Amino acid sequence: MRALCGFAFVLTLVVVLLGAFTRLTDAGLGCPDWPGCYGFNYVPASAGEHALAAERFPDAPLEVTKARNEMIHRYAAGTLGLTILVMALVSLRPANRRYRLPAFLLLALVLGQATLGMLTVTLNLMPFVVMGHLLGGFTILALLFWLWCRQGAYKGPQPKMQGVSRLFRLALAALVLQIALGGWTAANYAALACTELPVCQGDWLSQWQWSAFHPHGMPAETYQYGVLSQLERATIHAAHRLWAMVTAVLLLALARQLGRHPGLRLWGLALGLMVLLQLALGVANVVLHLPLWVAVAHNGGAAVLLLILTGTGERLGRFGEEKWQEAWQFSPAGHTSGRTISH
């Protein structure tokens, strides 16, 4: 089960990066239908298949490179779905009963992701669907990593929980919001709406547009390349930058706190270094005008930050459980309290 979980986790990370690559190469509609591509289960290759594709979708000319990027992402996502289905089936064995709930939760999330993937195409990249699809992928990634960590043994010093857990929850909430803002920035093609540092060009604060975050969005036949105004895109970009500063401060504070505890020191070091790298990638995106591999790495950096917090949270949760079990089993005087815990 742990091997399956590890394989699914690595595959999910690949799918997340492929999703970012697909989005950044404007290949989200590389195949105008779902789950196939111009009515095929593969990218049309021959002249006859190209002609048939043009006949089936006259308003969506075939671009082989974009279609290939999209189908590779779908193949990887389909393989992930089958892997998680196998995990769910394996969890039905009595020996794996404790993995049943998370395995079937993962299966439900994958089915939800497949639905969002279909809606991404059929609704022509509607921003809220695109952002939801991104957040779903990150959720599956974090849950798989948590489950993989949960199955491992740990022996080491226990940190003092006071103060760490509270700051951890605050930092995690800030990071999730920042990832959502990043997804909203990408879905609305706002990554290059501001090309100056450290602030957006012009008097951006007085021109702030709350309509950029309107839940209904602007109805359009297609949302590819964005439908919002320049001011709205600049607002989204500026919000992503500003919240990045808040998130970075909280994450660095958490990294410093974790560094004080031997059992969490490596997590703290990894967190601090990754925050600095992610900030550098964000600056590079603006200065270098969103080069493809830097932008993909920035998406990957957000995933790694989430994984570091997931691993930290699993460790804190395990320490909390051990502390609770000790308090439940023994009285302050060191005698049994009369209540027992089933192991």
**Quick check: 17 pLDDT over 80?**
yes
d(C-alpha 201, C-alpha 222), whole Å: 28
Residue 235: CA count within 13 A, CB half-sphere: 15
Region 316-322: what's the mean pLDDT? 65
| Contacts of residue 45, Cβ cutoff 8 Å, sequence gap at least 6 | none
Range with lowest mean pLDDT among 39-53, 170-184, 211-225, 249-263: 211-225
Over residues 291-303, mean pLDDT: 96
pLDDT of 340: 41
182/306 Cα distance (integer angstroms): 13
pLDDT band at 330 (very low <50, low <70, confident <90, very high): very low
Q: Could you state, in order of their start, the residue ranges of all structural domains in the chain?
A: 1-152, 160-343
For residue 327, pLDDT beyond 90:
no
Q: Could you check whether the bond before residue 35 is cis, i.e. omega within 30 degrees of 0?
A: yes
User: In this model, does residue 331 exceed pLDDT 50?
Assistant: no
- State the maximum Cα–Cα separation within the chain, in Å, rounded to a whole number: 83
Flag whether pLDDT at 313 surpasses 50: yes
If DSSP codes are grouped into helix, strand and coil, which group holds residue 336?
strand
Q: What percent of the chain has pLDDT over 90?
A: 70
Which class for 247: exposed (0-12), middle (13-18), buried (19 or more C-beta within 10 A)? buried
Q: Cα–Cα distance between 137 and 157 in angstroms, integer?
A: 33
Helix%, strand%, coil% for the chain, nearest 5? 70, 0, 30
Tell me what pLDDT residue 216 has: 57
pLDDT over 70, % of the chain: 87
CA angle 209, 197, 208 (to 5 degrees): 10
Q: What are phi and psi of 40, to 5 degrees?
A: -105, 165
- The residue written with tokens 């999730």 in the block is 176
d(CA 209, CA 266): 42
Per residue in 79-129, pLDDT tens?
999 999 999 999 999 988 888 999 999 999 999 999 999 999 999 999 999
Residue 337 zone, left/alpha/beta (φ > 0; ψ -120 to 50; rest) = alpha
Active-site residue flag, 70: yes
Q: Which of 49, 55, 63, 70 is catalytic?
A: 70
Angle at CA 140, nearest 5°, toward 138 and 144?
Answer: 120
